[in-house]
Chains A and B, each alone.
Chain A
Amino acid sequence: MSATAAPRAAHGIFHKAGSLRAERRWALWSAYVSLIIAAIVMLAPPFYMLITALKTSAEIADLGGNPWIVRSPTLENFAAILGNEMFRGFFWNSIQVTVLVVIVTMLISVPAAFALSRMRFWGSQWLATGVFLTYLVPDTLLFIPLYQIVGGLGLLNSTWGLVLVYPTLTVPFCTWIMIGYFASIPKELDEAALIDGAGWLQMLWRIFIPVALPGIIAATIFAFTVSWAAFVYPTAFITRPDEMPLTIGVVSQLIRGDTFAWGQLMAGALLAALPPVVVYAFLMDYYVAGLTAGATKG
Chain B
Amino acid sequence: MSAGGDPTISVSDVSKWFGNVVAVNEVSLQVAPGITGLLGPNGAGKTTLLYMIVGLAGCSRGEVTVLGEPVRDNPELYRRLGFMPERETVYPFLTGRELVEMSAKLNGMANVSDSVDRAIAMVGLEDAQRRRLGAYSRGMRQRMRLAAALVHDPDVIVLDEPLNGTDPRQRMEFQDSMERLAASGKTILVSSHILEEVETLASRILLMISGKLAASGDFRAIRAALDERAYQIRVVASEPRRLAASILMMDSVDSASIADDGSLIVYSRNVSELQLALPRLARESGIRLTRVEPMDESLESLFEYMVER
Whether chain B is bound by chain A comes out as no
Instruction: Enumerate chain A interface residues (CB-CB to B < 8 A).
Output: none
